[in-house]
Structure 1
Amino acid sequence: MAVAPTPPGRRERNKQAKLDRITAAASELFAEHGVDDVTTQQIADAADIGTGTLFLYARTKGELLLLVQNAHYASALERGRTAAAGTTGALDGLLALLSPVVECNRVQVDNGRTYLREMVFGDPTEPHHAEALSIVAQTERAIADLLSERTRLGGEEAAAMAGVVSAVMFLNLAPSATADASVPEILATMRAQLAAILPG
């Protein structure tokens, strides 16, 4: 007979409720004002907690942004996987897979660029940073799987090319020079760049 899982205790429920309030407050404030123009005090006030409590969940504003954005990026990746399944050919599949990620990054351009910067330069021991890196790894696995299925690349070659494809995307999203570029412009540039490097 299966044993029913133990429901979370009051302490765990309170911690989750605070985390949910922090995430909602940070998400709303970052979306409205941009990460650079929001203070941790404003987030704590909006979440109805003290700043000391806030720092138990995320030590820096960058970590708060990772907390907020990770869920959006994970959802974007799932949408991309679904879209890619409805395509044929490697190039169309890659663009379908990555388009939702690009769109997610451009909802608030400064936040998107800061998110990428935090992923690259943030503290890898922080849990939200580790989760962001996990999403990158999942994205690269999805790219490698698609390349293995639709090109002549073997497993190791597909994995190496997935890193290159991921770098192409990040290099089109992160620089100041592309801050004003629209999603269709970024995707068109990526299409041209990926077409030049994909085998066959």
Structure 2
Amino acid sequence: MERKEKRTSVAHAGAENKHESAPTGRRERNKQEKLARIVEAAKELFGTKGFAETTTQEIAEKADIGTGTLFLYAKSKEDLLVMVFKDEMIATSQAAFGKQPAGSSLIDQLMHVFDTMIVYHAQDLDLAKALIREITVPPENSSRRSDLQALMQVIYGGIADLVIAGQKTGKLRQDIDPLLVAESFFAIYYIGLLGWLGGLATRRQFINRLRPRLECAIEGIVAH
């Protein structure tokens, strides 16, 4: 009898816990749905009106939420810009790493990845310029930092995997840190990107200079 009562009590407690967890699940779904509406609204308005001309009030209205609710998800329009681009850039980067030409060299693999990123930014140069301004020196205690970290983990990790693959074939030195090399390769690309978006070089000049710069860096890690 005592054992039966215990089983009944545990089952009842489990039912209560399940009942209590259900609202939490709905709240999380509602939160994600609102976030999706905010990102979609910001993306559309930034694309049609431009970043500078878009207001947070307009984004909130288009997402069908209050301005106060909007600021629970992003503290500023700049944070929203990074939030929009982060997901797109992660998807763009993952696609580039996932569609590498078979049997290609490291330089061709890197150029494939960076060319894909360049094409993405070229779709809307004004937004790309605004984005670069906001991510180059992100403010402290900003959600931009975590968004950028998520993006860079994908990019650094993808490049590091290319380096590791080269190490496995014996083409690259075994004593190098793949992640450190990945950061160095991206830094070369990023400096060129700043020059292009800053008007110091054309897109063609940027690409033409990028390849030999990467080749110089690769020469330092080739196995001899």
Aligned with residue 108 of structure 2, among 81, 92, 110: 92
- Whole-angstrom CA distance in 2 between matches of 1:107 and 1:14: 32
| Distance apart, 1:125 and its partner CA | 3.9
Aligned with residue 61 of structure 1, among 67, 70, 77: 77
The amino acid across from 1:194 in the alignment is L
Deviations 1:12-68 (A, max 9, x none): 232222111111110001112322221111211211222111111100111101111
Pairing 1:191–2:211 present: yes
The unaligned stretches of length 5 or more in structure 1 are none
- Any conservation in 1 of the 2:93–2:155 contact (CA below 8 Å)? yes
| Distance apart, 1:105 and its partner CA | 2.3
- Whole-angstrom CA distance in 2 between matches of 1:51 and 1:28: 17
Aligned with residue 112 of structure 1, among 117, 128, 140: 128
TM-score in terms of structure 1 length: 0.83
TM-score in terms of structure 2 length: 0.75
Give the greater-gyration-radius structure (CA): 2
The unaligned stretches of length 5 or more in structure 2 are 1-17
The amino acid across from 2:186 in the alignment is S
The amino acid across from 1:96 in the alignment is H
- Any conservation in 2 of the 1:63–1:129 contact (CA below 8 Å)? no
Pairing 1:172–2:192 present: yes
Helix, strand or coil: the match of 2:88?
Answer: helix
- Any conservation in 2 of the 1:113–1:173 contact (CA below 8 Å)? no
- Whole-angstrom CA distance in 1 between matches of 2:205 and 2:36: 35
Matched residue, 2:154? 138
Q: Percent identity?
A: 28
Aligned with residue 153 of structure 1, among 173, 190, 197: 173
The amino acid across from 1:167 in the alignment is A
Helix, strand or coil: the match of 1:29?
Answer: helix
| Distance apart, 1:129 and its partner CA | 2.9
| Distance apart, 1:130 and its partner CA | 0.8
Matched residue, 2:138? 122
- Whole-angstrom CA distance in 1 between matches of 2:121 and 2:111: 15
Matched residue, 1:36? 52
Pairing 1:51–2:67 present: yes
- Whole-angstrom CA distance in 2 between matches of 1:177 and 1:165: 22
- Count the aligned residue pairs: 194
Bigger mean CA deviation after superposition, 123-132 or 110-119: 123-132
- Whole-angstrom CA distance in 1 between matches of 2:191 and 2:31: 37
Deviations 1:138-191 (A, max 9, x none): 212221221232342336443332222111211122241258x34x55333311
The Cα RMSD (Å) is 2.5
| C-alpha distance 39-87 of structure 1, shift in aligned 2 (>3 A) | farther
